[in-house]
Amino acid sequence: MKNFSRFARGTGVVLIVLAIWEVLGRLELIGQGALPAPTQILAQLWKDRSDYPPHLSVTLKSAGTGFVIGNIIAIIAGAISARFRIAETLLRGLGMSLFAVPLIAIVPVLLLAFTGTTPRIILAAMAVYFPTYIATMNGMRNVDPRLVDVVMVAGGSTTDVLRWIRVRSALPHIVSAFRVAAPAALLGTLLAEFGGGTRWGLGTYLLGSLGQANPSRLWSIGLVATAVAASAYMLFALLGSRLTRSSMSATVQTALPMGGATGPWWKRLGGGVISAGVVLGLWALVLSILDMSPVVAKSPFAIVRYLTTDPRASLSRSRLFHAYSETLPLALIGLLCGLAAALLLAVIFSLRPALGRAVLPFALVSQTMPLPALTPLIVLVFGRSILATVVVCVSVTFFPSFVTISQALATTSTAAIDVVRVSGGGRFKSLRFVGLPGAVPAMATAARLAAPRALLGVMIAEYLATGNGLGNLLNESRGRLDYGMIWTVATTSVLVAVLITQLFGLAEKLTRK
């Protein structure tokens, strides 16, 4: 009964918001018609209904194929890493690169090397690798030692332990990683589709619909993409809850152990160098297998030459530096705003849970809507300004941060809260003295997890809307056929993103002490 009234109230809030939206849209109050009414969006969707099946089926096929391939590789790599520490060290660089890489910087490079839907599949596979890899490794490693003993005592081998205990223990973790991986696969596919190459795909449709002065179309594409991402998410959430028989409320993996390396600094540094070497080696290997023209394909050495000994090196360096000087501050501002918004909602949630629940569905939609679909909508409403860039950034960093922070607020020590209560403090006091201090390390964790998303968000906004920074540098380099710069942007953006995540990781360690 209580559940029902809560559900009714939630529905009521959603209906009220929709009604307000309808009025705003009909009266063209926001951005002179940039926000159409829900009924207008539905009407457009109905008008275009025959366009969607061919586009959607191609998108789903590419995203699905990439999802399967990426996850198979991630599960195998995770299983090997769980078994052999050395494999974990070797693969750490690859995992971190794939976690941090702004996918949009990779699209031009993939389109240079592959045709048809292959770039989309690869980008989707890249997007799913990291969460599944981490989940598999942790799931297989953290098993109950007593269970292992049981198998061993019964005469079982290591293989039996693997089959009966480790695989079973990892399964719920893997499925919960799929929840994150499925929308990520869709994002990767859409980004590559937007880049072009073949006729079909939701991203291609979006591209053709830009600049048509038809906001309803852009909104309907965005909502369809959101529906796909949300269904994929819910499918695996359902599967996961069946597997674990427990309701995990967290929607994003929060405690991704990145700084897993322990030991003296020289050992960690050595591990870092080796794992970076693995990434560079893989890169050189793929290039040599593909046998591409050296004009188009650049090896790691070619990029170093491009930035140092090439006659145009100093010009290239200054253009690259200029682009970063525009992009990075915005990403930082966006990240901080996103964290602040997340903290605010998390606090509201812990003080007034009902209010929080009402806001959550809309936060979820903004989170699930794939970036290439979301950005044009934000541009419609906020214009092509710095504000639009920051809003894109906030919308991609907000939700994972919210989950991380509110978990920290929820798990603050009850004993400590009791102390506050006993001394006469209320909810506000316990939040102030126990909750918020406890949330500081969570903020650092959230920053680490969200930093690569912030960078991607800014780059997409620059690429689609504002025309500055790294996103624009990619655009310009394409026009100039400056392949060296295209590869340089891809490489340096991975390096910078990894560096930033490491820095926040350090901050996290310091605040936890």
Torsion, Cα of 304, 310, 314, 316 (10° steps)? -70
Q: How far is the CB of 295 from other proteins (least distance, A)?
A: 5
Rounded Cα–Cα distance for residues 343 and 442 (Å): 10
Of 95 and 108, CB closest to other proteins = 108
Neighbours of 374 (CB within 10 A): 24
Query: Site residues for other proteins, window 481-510 (CB under 8 A)?
Result: 481, 483
User: Which segment (38-46, 79-87, 258-266, 477-485) binds other proteins by CB under 8 A?
Assistant: 477-485
Of 105 and 177, CB closest to other proteins = 105
Rounded Cα–Cα distance for residues 139 and 178 (Å): 14
| CA end-to-end distance (rounded Å), the chain | 45
Please select the residue that binds other proteins; options are 10, 38, 196, 272, rule is CB under 8 A: 196
Classify the phi-psi angles of 275: left when phi > 0, otherwise alpha if psi is within -120 to 50, otherwise beta: alpha
Secondary structure element (H or E) that encloses residue 412, with its range: none
Query: Site residues for other proteins, window 288-347 (CB under 8 A)?
Result: 292-293, 295-296
Of 43 and 167, CB closest to other proteins = 43
Q: Which two structure tokens, joined as six digits, stand for 440? A: 């500081």
Please select the residue that binds other proteins; options are 217, 298, 448, 453, rule is CB under 8 A: 217
**Helices within 352-426 (DSSP H only):** 353-368, 371-382, 386-410, 414-422
Q: How far is the CB of 195 from other proteins (least distance, A)?
A: 3
Rounded Cα–Cα distance for residues 214 and 197 (Å): 24
Under the binding rule (CB under 8 A), the answer on residue 465 touching other proteins is: yes
Under the binding rule (CB under 8 A), the answer on residue 208 touching other proteins is: yes
Query: Site residues for other proteins, window 28-57 (CB under 8 A)?
Result: 32, 51, 54-55
Nearest by Cα to 367 from 395, 403, 334, 336: 395
Site string for other proteins, 82-111 (x = CB under 8 A): -------------------------xx--x
Q: How far is the CB of 196 from other proteins (least distance, A)?
A: 1
Please select the residue that binds other proteins; options are 17, 43, 113, 351, rule is CB under 8 A: 113
How many residues sit close enough to other proteins to count as binding (CB under 8 A)? 48
User: In the chain, helix, strand, coil percent, each to 5?
Assistant: 80, 0, 20
Q: How far is the CB of 326 from other proteins (least distance, A)?
A: 12
Q: How far is the CB of 116 from other proteins (least distance, A)?
A: 5
**Helices within 411-482 (DSSP H only):** 414-422, 427-430, 436-461, 469-479
Please select the residue that binds other proteins; options are 145, 264, 424, 479, rule is CB under 8 A: 479
Sequence-separated (6 or more) residues with CB below 8 Å from residue 360: none
Chain contacts with other proteins (rule: CB under 8 A): 32, 51, 54-55, 107-108, 111-113, 115-117, 194-200, 204-213, 217, 292-293, 295-296, 384, 464-468, 472, 475-476, 478-481, 483
